[in-house]
Amino acid sequence: MNGSLTLAVELAWWQQTGIRALVGLLAVLLPAGTLVYLFLFKMMSFMQSRLGPMEAGPYGSLQLLAEVGKFLQKEDIFPRKADRWVFMAAPFVVLISTFLLVLVIPAGPDAWFIDVDTGIFFALAVSSISVIGILMAGWASSSKYSLLGALRAAGQLVAYELPLVLAVMGVVIQAGTLNVQDIVMAQATGEIFGWGGIGNPFILTQFLGFAIFLIAVQAELTQPPFDMPVAESELVTGYLTEYSGLRFLLFFIAEFATAGIFSALASTLFLGGWYVPGLDPTSNLFNVLGPAILLGKVILVAFLIFWFRFTYPRFREDQLQQLAWKVLIPLSLVNIVVTGILKVVF
Amino acid sequence: MSVLAALEGMDRLSGGEVLIAQNVAFGVLALAMVAAALRMVTTRNVVHAALYLVVVLAGVAGMFILLGAEFVGVTQVLVYIGAIVVLFLFGIMLTKGSFGEDDGVTGERRLVAGLVGLLVFGVMAAALVESFEDAELSRSGPSTTAELADSIFSDYIVPFEAVSVLLLAALIGAIVVARRD
């Protein structure tokens, strides 16, 4: 994906950038589509003793394309009192956040989009931009359900951003770097008490961080059991209520793409990213195998996320805030202190 | 000063190299920021003002990245866009029920606000010119996060801790003010 991949041809800057943009689009849409089909269509159906989509393509595998076609045909509706510009811009603000997030995830020793020094810090910063898009959507719809949904969403996203950031800190302390590629390398070349057979995936030492990260991700995605912002029995669909057709589709894609990217971040930080034990982490083979390995780990982590989504009932608003402020944040602070002490001792 | 050099159309930084891409990026960012800042103070809709502020702050983050201060730029996004503007919007939406134009915003304190703005501009411009004069921006590439962390926790440890205590005091103060009992 970049010049150092010793290709036979030397690519110009604009060619490299063009390839990166295309691959970035693919890296956002492919996991999103995979997650929607595998989990939302099929796993949820099987858990509820039904078949799910079966008509379009073998086992309903083309259902996604049919859905996209359906959304594209629908009328583009604006509420009469809506603030047109803000209403139109809101889904794109959320999408921008998603596209910036995918940039930091490496898929091989040379297969990355941008090699930023601030790495994971950059990812957490751009993930907070989506809150603005959600508030814009809720306010511009000029509907009480949308506004209430957006306010609940903002309160929840701000509250759960803290445990998300603090859970990552343990990994950063252990790896000694913010750079995502270096974190993968630290896991690939790490040793467990002198034994380097499987590297040192941080899930072993940072299991608490992994658990807090996944819970916070669940809340950031406003999925059940943290779906107060879109609680359909109270708020129709919260800030999405007034959106239809293509604009609704953009929000939908952003939600599942973000689910995929957060799963990729979790696999990169805690499960070793594109690395599998047994091969040399600098070998060129990983530039080809890496994306597939990463996608496999993404499906594994996303399975956990969606399993929770389809299993647990909704939290009440006060329980939801208490969980963040009184349980997750203190726990993650303890995790940071313990990790810091152990880092100094060993 | 890099900013003035960019305005002149060419950076004459060591060796007469002209940084075209940086200058174009600076121009685009600066235009967008000035336009958004003007709209922010002239619009009568409070929510629109907050959204224009997002554009200005994003431009500031872009400026920091142009200057090679990556960590500061990312922090700008996380703290100002991700937290402070969200709190602004949150506060506006919680307290104000109406949509559309807000009759309450008339700009009656325009004169005072303009004076304060001029004063802040004067102080900051004087401080910048005074401390940098005609020093040239170093071409040593972007500063790494590790260097930044080292200098904060060694050379600047006392100011850093002082700011931390100040923020903690503000936090406790806010809780004391907000509690009724």
At B70-102, the pLDDT tens digits run 888 888 888 888 888 888 888 888 776 555 555
Average pLDDT score over residue span B114-140: 84
Residue A283 has pLDDT above 90, yes or no: no
Backbone torsions φ then ψ of A199, nearest 5 degrees: 70, -150
> Is residue A216 one of the residues assigned to a domain?
yes
Give A64-73 contacts, CB < 8 A, sequence gap 24+.
A64/A33, A64/A36, A64/A37, A68/A249, A71/A245, A71/A246, A71/A248, A71/A249, A72/A245, A72/A246, A72/A249, A73/A245
> Is residue A40 one of the residues assigned to a domain?
no
Asked if B47's CB is within 8 angstroms of A117's CB, the reply is no
> Is residue A179 one of the residues assigned to a domain?
yes
**Per-residue pLDDT at A21:** 82
Sorting pLDDT into bands at 50, 70 and 90, what band is B137? Answer: low
Cα–Cα distance between A92 and A259 in angstroms, integer? 17
Give the chain B residue nearest A89 (alpha carbons): B51
Q: Compute the nearest-CA separation of B93 from chain A (Å).
A: 7
The single residue listed with the structure tokens 């799910």 is A52
> Is residue A223 one of the residues assigned to a domain?
yes
DSSP 8-state assignment for residue A312: S
Side-chain half-sphere exposure of A150, counting CA atoms within 13 A: 33
**Per-residue pLDDT at A222:** 83
Cα–Cα distance between A290 and A276 in angstroms, integer? 9
Sorting pLDDT into bands at 50, 70 and 90, what band is A199? Answer: confident
Domain housing A301: 76-345
**Per-residue pLDDT at A188:** 79
In the chain, the amino acid numbered A192 is I
Burial of A164 by CB count in 10 Å (0-12 exposed, 13-18 middle, 19+ buried)?
A: buried
Average pLDDT score over residue span B133-137: 72
Q: Compute the nearest-CA separation of B71 from chain A (Å).
A: 6
**Per-residue pLDDT at A189:** 79
- Percent of chain B at pLDDT above 90? 24
- Per the structure, how many domains does chain A have? 1
Sorting pLDDT into bands at 50, 70 and 90, what band is A60? Answer: confident
Chain B residues inside the 8 Å CB shell of A117: 70-71, 142, 144-145
- CB environment A255-279: b (16+ within 10 A), e (fewer): bbbbbbbbbbbbbbbbbbbbbbeee
- CB environment B101-128: b (16+ within 10 A), e (fewer): ebeeeeeeeeeeeeeeeeeeeeeeeeee
**Per-residue pLDDT at A145:** 86
Sorting pLDDT into bands at 50, 70 and 90, what band is A29? Answer: confident
Cα–Cα distance between B101 and B43 in angstroms, integer? 9
Fold of B2-142: Four Helix Bundle (Hemerythrin (Met), subunit A) (1.20.120)
Average pLDDT score over residue span B39-52: 84
Chain B residues inside the 8 Å CB shell of A181: none
Signed CA dihedral, A46, A51, A55, A59: sign only: positive
Residue A243 has pLDDT above 50, yes or no: yes
Q: Are A268 and A106 in contact (CB under 8 A)?
A: yes
Chain A residues inside the 8 Å CB shell of B102: none
Average pLDDT score over residue span A279-286: 76
**CB proximity A321 to B under 8 Å:** no
Q: CA Rg, chain A, in Å?
A: 21
In the chain, the amino acid numbered B93 is M
B181 CB-near residues (< 8 Å, 6+ apart): none
Q: Compute the nearest-CA separation of B112 from chain A (Å).
A: 30
- Residue B160 in tokens: 């850093």
Cα–Cα distance between A267 and A92 in angstroms, integer? 27
Chain B residues inside the 8 Å CB shell of A131: 82, 86
Which residues of chain B have a Cβ shorter than 8 Å from any chain A Cβ?
Answer: 47-48, 51, 54, 70-71, 74-75, 77-78, 81-83, 85-87, 89-90, 93-94, 99-100, 142, 144-146
ipTM of predicted assembly, 2 dp: 0.79
Residue A190 has pLDDT above 80, yes or no: no
**Per-residue pLDDT at A55:** 83
Chain A residues inside the 8 Å CB shell of B44: none
Asked if A129's CB is within 8 angstroms of B81's CB, the reply is yes
**CB proximity A117 to B under 8 Å:** yes
Average pLDDT value over all residues in chain A: 83
In the chain, the amino acid numbered B100 is G
Asked if B48's CB is within 8 angstroms of A132's CB, the reply is no
Asked if B93's CB is within 8 angstroms of A147's CB, the reply is yes
Other Cβ atoms closer than 10 A to B36: 18
Residue B10 has pLDDT above 60, yes or no: no
Q: Which of A104, A118, A145, A181 to mutate to test the interface with B (most CBs of B within 10 A)?
A: A118
**CB proximity A125 to B under 8 Å:** yes
Cα–Cα distance between A62 and B18 in angstroms, integer? 53
**CB proximity A123 to B under 8 Å:** no
DSSP 8-state assignment for residue A38: I
**Per-residue pLDDT at B140:** 59
Delimit the domains of chain B by residue range: 2-142, 144-181
DSSP 8-state assignment for residue B45: -
**Per-residue pLDDT at B163:** 93
Tell me the DSSP string of A93-148: HHHHHHHHHHTT---SSS--S---SSHHHHHHHHHTTHHHHHHHHHHHTT-HHHHH
Q: Which residues pair with B13 in a beta bridge?
A: B17
Query: pTM to 2 decimals?
Result: 0.83
Sorting pLDDT into bands at 50, 70 and 90, what band is A5? Answer: very low
> Is residue A26 one of the residues assigned to a domain?
no
Sorting pLDDT into bands at 50, 70 and 90, what band is A2? Answer: very low
- Percent of chain A at pLDDT above 90? 5
Helical packing angle, A180-188 and A144-175, nearest 10°: 50
- Selection from A157-161, A264-268, A272-276, B131-135 with the highest mean pLDDT: A264-268
> Is residue A212 one of the residues assigned to a domain?
yes
Nearest residue, CB atoms, A154 vs list B71, B90, B145:
B90
**CB proximity A83 to B under 8 Å:** yes
DSSP 8-state assignment for residue A199: B
If we measure between CA atoms, which residue out of A69, A156, A251, A72 comes closest to residue A259? A251
Cα–Cα distance between A225 and A244 in angstroms, integer? 25
Average pLDDT score over residue span A112-138: 85
- CA distances (Å), origin A137, targets A7, A78, A127, A221, B57: 45, 12, 17, 16, 20
**Per-residue pLDDT at B7:** 42
- CB environment A289-315: b (16+ within 10 A), e (fewer): bbbebbbebbbebbeebbebbbeeebb
More confident residue, A296 or B98: A296
Asked if B48's CB is within 8 angstroms of A128's CB, the reply is no
Give the chain A residue nearest B91 (alpha carbons): A151
